Structure formats: structure tokens, C-alpha cells
A = this chain, B = another copy of it.
């Protein structure tokens, strides 16, 4: 049984998306039970439409819903202890849930998660890990926006946590890890990235297969299972790739409707276009995982639909089933057994 707490008020559509999304996830994984946090008046009628979900859920009425544009500091002040967002996270702390899922605003969710769950021992900064569709399948990319900048030690923490997540999500024993850089030669790039590379190569941890540097185009190729970078570059790379995918989809639509012949062609090839659309469906890879905290929190895209929210729930489900937190703790121990005495001048 996997216990999942949901911030029912989170996201652009709140209960309208979260409740049907939860129902979908439950259909596919009947061993889930939900703890729902929301404003009862806005949820009750909707929940009644999904009797199976209602049966497998406990509902908690919350006074406050955090809005999508609220600043993290304000959200914390206004929403601590009383908001659906805070309480869904707190349920992980108390053990009432194994994982929390919210489509609410990222900054507020991260601030509350840090405040409520606290950082893991030995981890200085949290990361958000995203799932990146590749030509080979999927990779994990982190950090995609939790914090700006990272020194060598923090990049190694990201590598260890991302590796543990890859083992939990892809069920592989020794995921390959790459450091995102502007060239593959050892002399290139930011000093902190080069230092992290040297340390990872020397560490020789059983659970990680350090590949070396990777470049921006290796993301889509799926060159490695885990791509490690700091949050500024990771966030911009992710959005640049998403933007490009949308741009090409726009070109493709325009091209296919430009003449009678192309419209006829489209009808014949509709199956192919459906397959392509499914391949490029951003809902399938919805769900950023907050790493480095004492508990698992999943961030869903705010604008997703029920299918996308169900995917975020399922990422959380997989993380719990495959013991993500335990794996991270083990891997950190393995890494610290190697115990570098210094992580280089930039960490001084």
C-alpha cells in the first residue's frame, strides 16, 4: 500500500484536475490510498463523482489555498499549518503519507517543503529532478530550478541523489551520470564542474557509473541516465527544449494544413501523427521530484490536465515503491565512505 497526500487546491485548476487525476492514478494502481487536503466546499461535489476514489481517501478541510503567484515568503506566513499545500507536506512528516503531490507554485512548495521536512543530513541544498524524454527512453535531469548556482560538493550531492532516483525509477543497478558542460574535454567549462568531475572520477562509487561531461545536445540523445547541472542552467535548458518542441509542433501544424494535398496526406498518416503526438506528450513526463529533503514531494506542472496530474502521482508512487529515500541515504553513505578531505578551492 502506498499512501499519497495531495494538495487538492494546487495548480491552475485545483480540484477540477487533481480529483479526476487521482481517480485515474487509482485505477492503474489500486494499492494507493489518498490523504486529500482542500477546501471542502470546492471539492465535495467533485469527489462524489468518483466513488472509488472517495472510498480510498481521507479528506481534510483546509482554510487556506496558496495562489499560483504568491511569493514563497508570503505563502509561508499565510499558509503554514493551515493551507492545503502545507498540510499535504506535513502528512509526509507525520507518516500519514509516503509522498506529497502538488501542482501549486514551485517557489512556495519548495519553501514549505524545506521548512517542514528539513534538509537531509549532509545535503546543503535541495534540487528538483525532472524526467527528460530521450531517443533512448528517459533520463533524469537535475537541478531544474530549485537553486541558482552550485559548487562542486553540491553538484556531487545532485549526482548521488539523481543516481538513486534513476535506480528507483528505471530499476537499473548502476546508472550512468554526466555533468552538463560546454565541451567534453577535461579542460573546459566552469571550474566547479571540472572539480566535481575530478572528484566523481576518483570516488569510484559502486552505485554510480560516472560517464564524464555531456553537452546540451546529449540531453535529447539520452547519452547518460542522469544529467547533473546547477539550477539556473538546468531550468533554462529545460525551457529552451520545451520551447523548441512547441515551436516545431506549430510549424508542423501549419505545414500540414497549407494545401489540400497536405490535408489529405494528414488523414492517411493520422496514425503516425497520433504516435508522434504521444511521443511528444509533455504530460507523460510530468512530475518534478524534490530531492535532498527528509521526505518525498512531487511538483506537477501547474497547467496540466487530469492525465498529467495522474502521471505526477505515478512518479511519486514509483519513488515510494522503489525506496527512493532509502536509496539516497545508502548512496550518500557510500560516497562519504570515500571521504574526500577537500572539494577544491572553490568550496573554501
Q: Which residues of B contact A237 (CB under 8 A)?
A: 216, 236-237, 240
By the criterion CB–CB under 8 Å, are B269 and A256 in contact?
yes
| A236-292 CB contacts (< 8 Å) to partner B | 236-248, 250-252, 255-256, 258-259, 261-262, 264-273, 275-276, 279-280
* A218 at interface, CB cutoff 8 A: yes
The secondary-structure label for the interface of chain A is: helix
Least CB distance from A161 to B in Å reads 20
Which B residues touch A245, using CB under 8 A? 244, 248
Q: Does A79 contact B (CB under 8 A)?
A: no
Complex CA gap A264/B236 in Å reads 39
Please, which residues of chain B bring their CB within 8 A of the CB of A217?
Answer: 239-240, 242-243, 246
Tell me the complex Cα distance, A216–B270, Å: 31
- Which of B135, B267, B271, B279 meets A259, CB within 8 Å? B271
Q: Considering the chains assembled together, what is the distance between the CA atoms of A271 and B261 in angstroms? A: 8
CB distance from A158 to the nearest CB of B (A): 16
* Cβ–Cβ < 8 Å partners of A30 in chain B: none
A294 at the interface (CB under 8 A from B): no
Counting CB contacts under 8 A, is A219 at the interface?
A: yes
| Smallest CB gap from A275: residue in B | B255
Say yes or no: A279 contacts B262, CB within 8 Å.
Answer: no
- A255–B221 Cα gap in the complex (Å)? 18
The answer to whether A243 touches B241 (Cβ under 8 A) is yes
Which residue of A148, A252, A262, A265 has the most chain B CB atoms within 10 A of its CB atom? Answer: A265
User: Is A44 among interface residues, defined by CB-CB distance under 8 A?
Assistant: no
Interface residues of A (CB under 8 A from B): 71, 134-135, 145, 148-149, 180, 182, 187, 189-190, 215-221, 229, 231-233, 235-248, 250-252, 255-256, 258-259, 261-262, 264-273, 275-276, 279-280
